[in-house]
Amino acid sequence: MFDIGFLELLICGVIALLVLGPERLPSAARAAGRWVGSARRMMSQFTSELDRELKAEDLRQELRKAGDVGLKDVQKTVRDALNEAKKYEDMVKPVQNQLDQANQKVTSALSERWNENGTSSIAKPADSSLEKVPESPVDLNKPSPSSGDALDTRS
């Protein structure tokens, strides 16, 4: 870096020995060593941080390129699927309308039949807006033995 050879270092050491003397030279050498060490650490931290930032920027650029390509493909696929669904929507709507009309006719016919006979042999049509609740194997109207009602003898 500075291109200092052994001869230059030897000359600096002799001059330091003459100027500082043998008593202060070891402490001055330790202080100079600490300064050089901290300068090297700062330089290595700076270069490693710079390398990390460069790698992160490269990664961001690669992700942008990959993300743009993938996003365009996904958008195209979704658009194609929606267009395909719209084609079949026209085919499905008339059938759906016919099914709704048939459901209304059957429901009204069953309701009329129920109202004519009162207690007809056919079952009353279920309300299609309500979901059927599956029957429970446990009778919920019976008190359980753990509830204090089963052991109540106050009646």
Give the pLDDT confidence of 82-128 residue by residue, as tens digits: 888 887 877 788 888 888 889 998 888 888 887 776 654 555 555 55
137 in any annotated domain: no
Q: How large is the average pLDDT for residues 29-41?
A: 93
What is the residue range of 68's domain? 55-91
Residue listed under structure tokens 């050498």? 29
Q: Distance between CA 27 and CA 24 in Å, rounded? A: 6
* Domain assignment present for 68: yes
Domains of the chain: total: 2
Q: Token pair for residue 25?
A: 């030279």
Domain end residue (candidates: 68, 91, 114): 91
Residue 41 placed within a domain: yes
Angle among Cα 13, 17, 20 to the nearest 5 degrees reads 125
Instruction: Please say which residue of 44, 74, 91 terminates a domain.
Output: 91
Does residue 59 lie in a domain region? yes
Q: Which residue has the higher pLDDT, 58 or 4?
A: 58
Instruction: Kindly tell me if the per-residue pLDDT of 47 is higher than 90.
Output: yes
- Residue 100 forms part of a structural domain: no
Percentages helix, strand, coil for the chain (3-state, rounded to 5) are 70, 0, 30
Is the pLDDT at 130 greater than 50, yes or no?
Answer: no
Identify the band that residue 133 occupies on the pLDDT scale cut at 50, 70 and 90.
very low
Structure tokens, 127 = 């309300």
- pLDDT confidence tier of residue 50, bands split at 50, 70 and 90: very high
> Looking at the structure, do residues 49 and 19 belong to the same domain, yes or no?
yes
Q: Could you tell me if residue 43 is inside a domain?
A: yes
Task: Tell me whether residue 150 is in a domain.
Answer: no
Average per-residue pLDDT in the chain?
77
pLDDT in the model for residue 2: 67
Query: 30 with 63, same domain?
Result: no
Using DSSP, how many helices (H) and how many strands (E) does the chain show? Answer: 1, 0
Residues 6+ apart with CB under 8 A from 20: 28
Q: What whole-number percentage of the chain has pLDDT above 90?
A: 23
The reported pTM is 0.37
Statement to judge: residues 59 and 86 lie in one domain: yes
Residue 64: its pLDDT value, please?
Answer: 81
* Mean pLDDT comparison of 42-51, 103-112, 124-133, highest-scoring range: 42-51
- Distance CA(128)–CA(100), nearest Å, equals 12
Sequence-ordered list of residues with C-beta below 8 angstroms from that of 128, at least 6 positions apart, any chain: 103, 107
Query: Both 29 and 45 in a single domain?
Result: yes
Q: Is position 20 within any domain?
A: yes
